[in-house]
Structure 1
């Protein structure tokens, strides 16, 4: 029996595209909350939805551990949780009544719950934690368990139903400035052998996730920040290296995904990190996300020294007009220069691309495609603009939104507002960009015949097919471009 059972509602099984890709990571935010509660004397257990088949396994975990408190603490470091997908909301709405039916007090923390307090209370939440919530959670547990006499209204960062059904929301809790005071995530609660087996079988190495920062100070007007807002706090390089050494020694980590919104924003941080990771024999190959305007020559050299394999950047668009409309704060030429520097150092580059932002024209789209051809990133991720509550973008298009205001899963890609072109245009565009990208990568492999592998040969064999698909796709785009745009409304059933 455990006093507190932690869980989350992101089930990889419910996200077909990412289930196929099979690159699972445990919910790091949940593990931080669990380790913090345990450090304060609570007996904790974990239900890891990432690899679960359905909500039925949550019910089994409730029956096994018989907790007093059921805490759905979403992984606020994982962009998939921050996307507030409908299928995951539906899972949360099933999981909360299961816990209530077993007499548990239900505590929830996450972006979607923060944006929809009333709906989560209506489906079984007793308390919702707002913002950075580890300390809020411990104070709440102390009050509810009788360890503290602190009244609910004095717990910062908390929401709960009042006596008349109104939502009571206490003042915001200040952010933790010194992140080094937090315990390392509770990795001992995770089924490490299962994750390791999946990674080794599918990818040939075992990857684990880690964060060095919390928040992002930039103002991209489509980026939702319901948990950390505009604040940015960073762990010391020494603290991060100590965790890497621990993950490498205790759990056999062979690769790290730094799940930060931006790695190494603090001047000199990456350079110090590179020195420390070598000094402590803690080098592990890693991937990370950075802004193109932060990728300087000295930064690239430090990244290479530290073991960086690939840097993903939010390129978004090859049109400066679109980047300025997004308030991205970067220049197209910086995308080119950052890519050049990383490739020159032998570090791969991934581009996140976003289509459909209000005002984007076919000319802007073609500029983005040309940027991909010129820069030749090693990988790309494509999305359409996705309005989330709390953003300036959401407010600008709110009047155009229908009943459906969230995607069902990460492959939904529905245009939820009135785009420049019809929704089908962007679905076809998604395929066209991927077909051209894969074809060009296959052709580039021909120029290095000594490095050809079976996977390259398979891609080469597909070139005629991709050329035909590309031709058909562009013809379809030209036809769809001429159709009048209208918003997309279809809504799946989510109670």
Structure 2
């Protein structure tokens, strides 16, 4: 029995791309919410939908715990949750319906709930929690359980007695005490399926941890409905102690840091490395960061702490596109970072984005040339995705039709008037992935795909896939295009015996 049953709406089998990758991580944000409820002396259980059956499993959990309150609390540290996928929305509504049928009050929190609050409230959800919601969650649950008024609680969205949308008048909460919360309550879920999935697919057990929350940078395509530009970091000692626990108690062999931006505080990195060495608890780990944060001292500190892989938000090899994104990054920063990481034998991986408004064929070629000249160890490619609350969305919202969100993480549908139609960007992604894979002789998939033929397909599509609706962009947003159909040279990937 538990007064509150926590769950979330990301179910791995509903996402074919993530099934292929098979890198499931527990819902840290949900588990932090559980820790906050426990600290508030509220009994709580968790039903984890990541690998569990969201229908039968959730119904069984409702019968077992008979909760007075069900909370659908998305993992704010999971980029998939931040993408506001419609498959997650559909599952959240389904979970809310089952909870209401069981007689529970339903509370929900997450990026999509913040964006689509009224639609959730009209699909069996009673309250939406806005902002950094752990404190709000505890206060609201306490009020509901003791039948106290809730109208003055900040950060709430709900329908009043007349069915009209009501939002708390006070400022949306930012939980200044998040870094002092107890560690996420991993013991409330079963980690065995995660261990089995990881060891079967990759030969080692990896799990996730976060050292910080939020990001102070202002890239105009990045949605930040929960933390805004606020950034908060835990103590280096507490993070190292959590890694030691994961290693010694749970048998974890690898760590993924889910922070939006790791290594923002350069001194913190040195302190963290010191703590890891003092506790003798080093594990290999990978992070997300920025190229301009990779200084020689920071890179050395990361390696000393156990870092083996760094994913950087490179986005584009065109300075024009980076500037249009308000990325605050120079192409030369990327080149320098790649060199620094290579010197320390750390894997350098690039997140890339194609299709941003104003990006031309010449800009795309600059991105391809950057990848070829720096040779990252891996890449991840996405297409520009206009999420509400971003400057990018405001620019293109009139071009977006009835489809406003991706269905799953492999949808990658371009929903505005980009320079090219979707088939071109898909072909571009496939060709660049195949080329990078081909550099790694150990990658069997890469060795089976001929990048040259894929690039030829890109070239053919470039001619016929230009978007006739480009006129919808303001003239100053589009760089004039050359009539000369330039194509990136293939010499770097064509074997010498095939070159003419």
Q: TM-score, normalised by structure 1?
A: 0.92
Matched, 1:112 2:115: no
Match of 1:3 in 2: 3
Offset of 1:172 from its aligned partner? 2.7
Unaligned 5+ runs, structure 2: 472-500
Judged with a 3 Å threshold, the aligned counterparts in structure 2 of structure 1 residues 44 and 460 are, in CA distance, closer, same or farther, namely closer
Q: Are 1:178 and 1:233, in contact at CA under 8 Å, matched by a contact in 2?
A: no
For 1:175 and 1:53, the matched residues in 2 are separated by 33
Q: Are 1:213 and 1:260, in contact at CA under 8 Å, matched by a contact in 2?
A: yes
Offset of 1:228 from its aligned partner? 0.2
Match of 2:484 in 1: none
Match of 1:90 in 2: 90
Q: Are 1:431 and 1:473, in contact at CA under 8 Å, matched by a contact in 2?
A: no
Match of 1:33 in 2: 33
Of the candidates 480, 485, 493, which is equivalent to residue 465 of structure 2? 480
- The correspondence of residues 422-441 of structure 1 with structure 2, limited to 5 A, is 422-439=421-438, 441=439
Query: Is the partner of 1:201 in helix, strand or coil?
Result: helix
- The correspondence of residues 12-161 of structure 1 with structure 2, limited to 5 A, is 12-146=12-146, 149=148, 151-161=149-159
Matched, 1:187 2:186: yes
Query: Which is worse superposed, 123-132 or 239-248?
Result: 239-248
Query: Which is worse superposed, 363-372 or 53-62?
Result: 53-62
Query: Is the partner of 2:50 in helix, strand or coil?
Result: helix
Match of 1:450 in 2: none
Q: Are 2:349 and 2:377, in contact at CA under 8 Å, matched by a contact in 1?
A: yes
Offset of 1:479 from its aligned partner? 3.2
Q: Are 2:6 and 2:47, in contact at CA under 8 Å, matched by a contact in 1?
A: yes
Match of 1:314 in 2: 313
Q: Are 2:2 and 2:67, in contact at CA under 8 Å, matched by a contact in 1?
A: yes
For 2:399 and 2:252, the matched residues in 1 are separated by 46
Match of 2:246 in 1: 247
Judged with a 3 Å threshold, the aligned counterparts in structure 2 of structure 1 residues 75 and 460 are, in CA distance, closer, same or farther, namely closer
> After superposition, what is the alpha-carbon deviation per residue over 1:407-459, rounded to whole angstroms, capped at 9, x for unaligned?
001111101101111222212211121122222x14xx4xxxxxxxxx44x35
For 2:415 and 2:464, the matched residues in 1 are separated by 21
Match of 1:200 in 2: 199
> After superposition, what is the alpha-carbon deviation per residue over 1:73-112, rounded to whole angstroms, capped at 9, x for unaligned?
0001100000000111111111111100110000101010
Query: Is the partner of 1:5 in helix, strand or coil?
Result: strand
Matched, 1:361 2:360: yes
For 2:369 and 2:25, the matched residues in 1 are separated by 34
For 2:89 and 2:179, the matched residues in 1 are separated by 32
Query: Is the partner of 2:204 in helix, strand or coil?
Result: coil
> After superposition, what is the alpha-carbon deviation per residue over 1:340-385, rounded to whole angstroms, capped at 9, x for unaligned?
1011101001100000000000000000000000111111000110
Judged with a 3 Å threshold, the aligned counterparts in structure 2 of structure 1 residues 178 and 70 are, in CA distance, closer, same or farther, namely closer
Q: Are 2:220 and 2:392, in contact at CA under 8 Å, matched by a contact in 1?
A: yes
Query: Is the partner of 1:51 in helix, strand or coil?
Result: coil
Matched, 1:462 2:448: yes
Q: Are 1:131 and 1:228, in contact at CA under 8 Å, matched by a contact in 2?
A: yes
For 2:421 and 2:60, the matched residues in 1 are separated by 45
Q: Are 1:387 and 1:394, in contact at CA under 8 Å, matched by a contact in 2?
A: yes
Judged with a 3 Å threshold, the aligned counterparts in structure 2 of structure 1 residues 186 and 417 are, in CA distance, closer, same or farther, namely same
Judged with a 3 Å threshold, the aligned counterparts in structure 2 of structure 1 residues 43 and 306 are, in CA distance, closer, same or farther, namely same
Query: Is the partner of 2:327 in helix, strand or coil?
Result: coil
For 1:466 and 1:20, the matched residues in 2 are separated by 21
Query: Which is worse superposed, 238-247 or 471-480?
Result: 471-480
Offset of 1:40 from its aligned partner? 1.8
- The correspondence of residues 286-301 of structure 1 with structure 2, limited to 5 A, is 286-301=285-300
Q: TM-score, normalised by structure 2?
A: 0.91
For 1:486 and 1:64, the matched residues in 2 are separated by 56
Q: Are 2:179 and 2:232, in contact at CA under 8 Å, matched by a contact in 1?
A: no
Matched, 1:416 2:415: yes
Query: Which is worse superposed, 468-477 or 387-396?
Result: 468-477
Q: Are 2:428 and 2:455, in contact at CA under 8 Å, matched by a contact in 1?
A: no
RMSD: 1.6
Match of 1:231 in 2: 230
For 1:54 and 1:67, the matched residues in 2 are separated by 17
Match of 2:161 in 1: 163
Offset of 1:474 from its aligned partner? 2.8
